[in-house]
């Protein structure tokens, strides 16, 4: 479909009678809408990272959701006794970036907004961002040529100008990195960082929350903390016992840091297998979420709950269409 045709189709689908019908159809069997975000950043920053939503975009999405949904905690959503009249939505945030403390916490406090933050613990322990955040920080630069030919990942030209086109290239590099052997990925990421000409270009670099910031987030009654593994490896790419160790470590660390029982888990990158699901259940979690751009079934497998991933380049119109499965 041409961009113009796509725009016209989206506009038609967003018109009140048609959208109302799509919404009714999508919500008919009482699914649960679980949204996956990563972090928030200042409106004025030209940060080309799908994971960084502008604060005002997030607030517009929350306002749009509240017209139809009750935004609730995952615990409330999974408890049949706490089911309300209106559809329910749950807001989740992966990884544990410092923007959650700086920008999300004030919104949570002002609006009594329930959120669930899935924290990958190694970056909190070391204070060093994971490979994907290091690459995103480094490539916020005025153009770069990244040569990864000797690793079989080709050559990449990061454009000068900010915007979705630049993100396309950065995202391509990140996806290519996911195909590298897990124990080599950090070294390839470091080579990309070394080839970026202006490494300090990120207006607000992605960095993990500090332990103090995490404690402050966890102390808010509307903030739930879940685990997201220690290493953030794609768990289906490493041996099951190593995956188990990483998840158990993140649970133990988070329980020590927050004084809370950590009962919810999100698979890094959404990578799920039934073996991983069984392992998560065995470690004492009550739920786990994937990333499959679908609405979750409340009666389905609690260790493979669907989520819709929302990013910086989703317009409000696109956001509303994602909610109804388009
Ligand atoms: Zn993650």
Q: Are strands 33-37 and 308-309 parallel, antiparallel or unpaired?
A: parallel
In angstroms, what is the span from residue 228 Cα to ligand 1's centroid? Answer: 7
The rounded Å distance from CA 230 to ligand 1 centre is 11
Could you give the number of structural domains in the chain? Answer: 2
Question: Nearest Cα to 226, choosing from 262, 200, 279?
Answer: 262
Length of the chain: 326
State whether residue 140 is helix, strand or coil: coil
- CB neighbours of 20 closer than 8 A, spacing ≥ 6? none
What is the CATH number for 297?
3.20.20.370
Q: Give me the pLDDT at residue 6, please.
A: 85
Residues 95, 222 within the same domain: yes
In tens digits, the chain (326 residues) has pLDDT values of 788 888 899 999 999 999 999 999 999 988 999 999 999 999 999 999 999 999 999 999 999 999 999 999 999 999 999 988 899 999 999 999 999 999 999 999 999 999 999 999 999 999 999 999 999 999 998 888 999 999 999 999 999 888 999 999 999 999 999 999 999 999 999 999 999 887 667 888 999 999 999 999 999 999 999 999 999 999 999 999 999 999 999 999 999 999 999 999 999 999 999 999 999 999 999 999 999 999 999 889 999 999 999 999 999 999 999 999 88
**Predicted model pTM:** 0.96
- For residues 63 and 79, membership in a common domain is answered with yes
Angle at 293 between CA 288 and CA 296, to 5 degrees: 50
User: Alpha-carbon distance 100 to 61, whole Å?
Assistant: 16
Task: For residue 298, give the DSSP letter.
Answer: T
Does 135 map to a domain?
A: yes
Select from 168, 195, 222 the last residue of a domain: 195
Parent domain of 103 = 31-127+208-323
CB burial class (10 A; 0-12, 13-18, 19+) of residue 26?
middle
CA 87 to CA 298: how far, in whole Å?
Answer: 12
Ligand 1 centre distance from Cα of residue 105 (Å): 19
Q: Residue with structure tokens 């559809």? A: 87
Which residues in 288-324 are b (16+ Cβ under 10 Å) and which e? bbbbeeebbebeebbbbbbbbbbbbebeeeebbbbbb
Coil vs helix vs strand at 3: helix
Report if residue 187 sits inside a domain: yes
Distance from residue 209's CA to the centre of ligand 1 (Å): 14
Tell me which of 195, 222, 243 is where a domain ends: 195
Domain boundary residue among 174, 195, 216? 195
Q: Which of 44, 41, 63, 35 lies closest to 54 in space, CA to CA?
A: 41
């Amino acid at each position: 479909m041409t961009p113009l045709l796509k725009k016209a189709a989206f506009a038609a689908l967003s018109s009140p009678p048609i959208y109302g019908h799509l919404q009714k159809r999508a919500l008919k069997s009482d699914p649960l809408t679980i949204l996956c975000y990563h972090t928030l950043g200042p409106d004025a920053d030209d940060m080309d990272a799908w994971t960084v939503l502008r604060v005002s975009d997030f607030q517009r999405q929350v306002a749009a959701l509240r017209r139809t949904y009750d935004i609730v905690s995952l615990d409330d959503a999974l408890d049949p006794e706490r089911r309300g009249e209106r559809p329910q939505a749950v807001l989740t945030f992966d990884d544990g970036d410092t923007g959650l403390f700086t920008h999300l916490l004030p919104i949570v406090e002002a609006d009594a907004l329930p959120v669930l933050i899935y924290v990958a613990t190694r970056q909190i322990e070391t204070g060093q961002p994971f490979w994907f955040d290091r690459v995103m920080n480094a490539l916020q630069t005025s153009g770069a040529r990244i040569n990864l030919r000797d690793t079989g990942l080709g050559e990449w030209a990061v454009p000068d100008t900010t915007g979705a086109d630049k993100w396309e290239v950065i995202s391509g590099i990140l996806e290519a990195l996911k195909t590298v052997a897990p124990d080599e990925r950090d070294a390839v990421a470091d080579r990309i960082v070394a080839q970026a000409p202006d490494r300090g270009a990120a207006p607000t670099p992605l960095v993990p929350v500090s332990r103090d910031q995490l404690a402050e987030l966890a102390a808010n009654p509307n903030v739930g903390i879940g685990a997201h593994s220690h290493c953030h490896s794609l768990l289906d790419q490493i041996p099951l016992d190593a995956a188990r160790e990483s998840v158990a470590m993140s649970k133990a660390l988070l329980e020590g840091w927050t004084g809370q029982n950590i009962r919810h888990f999100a698979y890094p990158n959404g990578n799920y297998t039934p073996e991983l699901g069984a392992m998560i259940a065995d470690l004492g979690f009550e739920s786990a979420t994937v990333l499959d751009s679908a609405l979750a079934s409340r009666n389905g497998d609690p260790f493979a709950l669907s989520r819709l991933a929302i990013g910086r380049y989703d317009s409000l119109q696109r956001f509303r269409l994602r909610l109804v499965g388009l």
